[in-house]
Amino acid sequence: MKKVILATIISSGLFLAGTVQAQHLSPETEHDLIKICSAIKSNSKLRLNRAIKSSRLPAKTVAKGLVCNGLDPVSFALTNNAHSTAKSIARMGNNDYDALLAKL
């Protein structure tokens, strides 16, 4: 009897673990992140700061964790010739802008 109960508990645990899904972003959060990527591309520090403030996310989190078109924010800015916003984001994330520029 103990073996049946133990097998049931283990199999139900495996079944429940297999049905867990990743959490999706809310449409509002996704819109805010798209606005930040657009601001990065625009090369306007003012627009970037406004987008980050309106998203209510910490600037360091944006600098370290945001992905725009598969690139980190600094690389995304540099590929779009937005050097002003690239420097600003590198500063937000405590990164060395010149070292990041050398990698590209």
Residue pLDDT, tens place only, 71-86: 888 889 989 999 999 8
Residue 25 has a pLDDT of: 72
What is each CA distance from 55 to 9, 28, 76, in whole angstroms? 43, 9, 19
Are 95 and 69 contacting, i.e. CB atoms less than 8 angstroms apart? Answer: no
Taking only the tens place, the pLDDT of each residue in 36-85 is 999 999 999 999 999 999 999 898 888 888 899 998 888 899 899 999 99
Q: At what angle do helices 83-92 and 45-55 cross, to 10 degrees?
A: 40
Nearest of 90, 26, 40, 28 to residue 68 by alpha carbon: 40
State the distance between the two ends of the chain, measured CA to CA, in whole angstroms: 64
Domain residues of the chain, as ranges? 26-103
